[in-house]
Amino acid sequence: MKCPRDGAALEAQKYESNIEVDVCTVCHGMWLDKGELEAIEASSEHDYTAELAKDQGVAPKKLADLQAQDKRGPIDCPKCGKAMETREYGYASRIHIDTCIHGCGVWLDHGEIQALEKFFDSNRGNRTLPLRWRLWASVLSVLKR
């Protein structure tokens, strides 16, 4: 697959222990197949932010930078080639990610995975979780048995 931002070839890399992602070495964007972001959300138990930033040799971005980044406009899905839609992830995350509405997966621009990890962390242990999150928690506890 090619990077939807700059056309560079995406490199398969491991993210956490069992999730394979496709990363652009030019812009540090990341492609996640359908379900992989949810898997990261469900599985991350400690902070990979620093690790990932170190790997890429770049510092995590601030939310304001991410929002400015969102204004770059739509991109085409690297899998099916159709225009992706920018959607807010999860419940009030304020993180907008490019989503293939045909179900291929999502594209995360540089810094967005770190922002999402932070968002996941801040949701963990929260007792007033929206239903969707509570469902995830129960799925996770089943998987861990």
Residues lying near Zn ion in the complex (CB under 5 A) are found at 3, 5-6, 8, 24, 26-27, 29, 77, 79-80, 100, 102, 104
The residue to which tokens 């991350």 are assigned = 44
Nearer to Zn ion, 3 or 66 (CB): 3
Complex with Zn ion: residue 3 or 32, whichever CB lies closer: 3
- Of 39 and 80, nearer to Zn ion (C-beta) is 80
Q: Which is nearer to Zn ion, 43 or 86 (CB)?
A: 86
Shortest Cβ distance from residue 27 to Zn ion (Å)? 3
3-state helix, strand, coil in the chain (%, to 5): 35, 20, 45
CB of 94 to Zn ion, least distance (A): 23
CB of 74 to Zn ion, least distance (A): 13
Q: Which residues pair with 19 in a beta bridge?
A: 15
Query: Parallel, antiparallel, or unpaired: how do β-strands 19-24 and 10-15 relate?
Result: antiparallel
**CA distances from residue 122 to 19, 41, 117 in whole angstroms, order as listed:** 22, 12, 9
- In 3D space, the residue among 70, 62, 67, 68 whose CA is nearest the CA of residue 86 turns out to be 70
Minimum Å gap between C-beta 40 and Zn ion is 19
